Structure 1
Amino acid sequence: MSLPTLRQLLELPAFRKAEVLAGESQLGQQVTWVHVAEVLDVGRLLSGGELVLSTGIELARATPEERATYVRSLAEAGVHGLALELVQGLREVPVEMLWAAQALEFPLLVFRSEVRFADLTRAAHERILRPKIQEEEPALESVLEALVETGRSTAFLHSQLGPVLSLPERPRRTLLSTLEALLAAQFNIAEAARKLGVRRQSVYYRLEQLTGMLGDLDLPERRLGLWVALELWKRFFYTLSIAPP
């Protein structure tokens, strides 16, 4: 899992209304979690790397010194940003908080209209928890390379897709593209049909053909093998002397 930076979270649709008032140079820091907190001593409860969301209700009641101390305590706790909703508690960022954030280069964000914190946390946590596919090494790349380097690629490919690969170009291309769409849609016929731009009846018919040629396609390990074989076929068919799509 690769954690997103604060800048990447701000690019999410849920955060589109956020305005950065301070700490722009620190937006490249990775965010570990997003917390909604109103208490002024929340820093002692955090582990570092968080983005804190607040309506500023308690801050509105605090003294100027308490507000500045609050910002400093978040920075000292390793928090990577504070986002304030300027609707209920505060209507503007108190100058002492802004000065403290600027002095510390601490990311201070504001929402000047009402936002749903539930939407913000959900979007952020989905991004934080999402595994990252390395751009420099696409998914399955190491598996495909290992099959090729050990000389097992041809045997594996034909063990998984052999009957389909032996077809003439047009039916081979049609069935393999259908199989890929089915795998990507987890065998949801309607979704695969939309992706292929054909009627569901056509997908049902092709699936019947695929099952007849390749056998049972329901087992998870079988589907994984087919997915690897399809990627192998697409990336290495010239090396393997297999007709292209």
Structure 2
Amino acid sequence: MLPTLAELLTLPAFAGAEVRSGHARLGTPVTWVHVSEISDAARFLSGGELLLSTGTPLTGNDAGVYIRSLAGGGAHGLALELVREVRELPQAALEAARETDFPLIVFGHEVSFAELTRAAHARILRPPAAAAPPSLSAVTDALTETGRAAGFVASQLGAVLALPPRPRLTLLGTLEALLACNFNVAEAARSLGVRRQTVYYRLEQLRAMLGELDDPRRQLGLLLALELSKGRED
């Protein structure tokens, strides 16, 4: 989950940051952090960015226009280091930020933009602490709950399911191994503990019974059918 602007401001690298406007939008997520000193930065935005600047774009007579362009372009905030070329926040910029409810953040001391971006990106790119493993359960549950699971499994695996238990389980296990490694026969053979020629032989059997297996949509259907077939009685 992307961090909010408020969360980024709690990072040690952002210590001393002062929010001058846009307090109501501090809960918006930040997609990336860029350093920008150009007046037309809005045309490069993808949306959700926090921009860092020493204030160079605010030195002309169009400070308000600049702020409005960032807000309209989808930026979620502008952080300014007001210690060099620009030491005071232009009133026009502040008024434009308040009118658009745009988060305007200032540092009254020298900061390292490299440290700010590094800290922010480490948080933005951090995976969720409890990321769930990939699962097809939402789809398989929906098929089961609507009473369509049995028909779907039969349509995908019917010919193989009609085999006696031993060859059925062998071919289903081989199909699952092949799907897991994108039909890499050598890798499937290693995972199954058999020779590659054995996997090739079983793959020919599967193709004879199930038809073409290369279509990604077909493979997805087979994956779903295999998930649904697990735990079914012989």
Which TM-score tier does this pair reach, normalised by the shorter chain? 0.5 to 0.7
Contact 2:78 2:104 in 1 (8 A): yes
Residue 92 of structure 1: CA displacement? 1.1
Matched, 1:74 2:77: no
Q: Show CA shifts across 1:126-177 (max 9, x none).
A: 000000124xxx877x9xxxxxxxxxxxxxxxxxxxxxxxxxxxxxxxxxxx
* Counterparts of 2:85 and 2:124, CA distance in 1: 29
Contact 1:68 1:96 in 2 (8 A): yes
Contact 2:22 2:104 in 1 (8 A): yes
What's the counterpart of residue 120 of structure 2? 124
Q: Which amino acid aligns with 1:115?
A: V
* Counterparts of 1:59 and 1:10, CA distance in 2: 23
- Shift in alpha-carbon separation, 1:80–1:113, aligned structure 2, 3 A: same
Matched, 1:91 2:90: no
Matched, 1:104 2:100: yes
Instruction: Describe the SS at the equivalent of 1:92.
Output: coil
What's the counterpart of residue 51 of structure 1? 50
What's the counterpart of residue 4 of structure 2? 5
Instruction: Describe the SS at the equivalent of 2:19.
Output: strand
Aligned residue among 90, 110, 116 for 1:114: 110
Superposed CA RMSD in Å reads 1.5
- Shift in alpha-carbon separation, 1:69–1:105, aligned structure 2, 3 A: same
* Counterparts of 1:89 and 1:4, CA distance in 2: 31
* TM-score of the aligned structures, taking structure 1 as reference length: 0.53
* TM-score of the aligned structures, taking structure 2 as reference length: 0.55
Runs of 5+ unmatched residues, structure 1: 143-245
Instruction: Describe the SS at the equivalent of 2:58.
Output: helix
Q: Show CA shifts across 1:40-96 (max 9, x none).
A: 100001111000000012422x11xx1100000000011000001001121111001
Residue 17 of structure 1: CA displacement? 1.3
Contact 1:21 1:107 in 2 (8 A): yes
* Counterparts of 1:96 and 1:46, CA distance in 2: 22
Contact 1:36 1:53 in 2 (8 A): yes
* Counterparts of 1:46 and 1:105, CA distance in 2: 18
- The aligned length equals 134
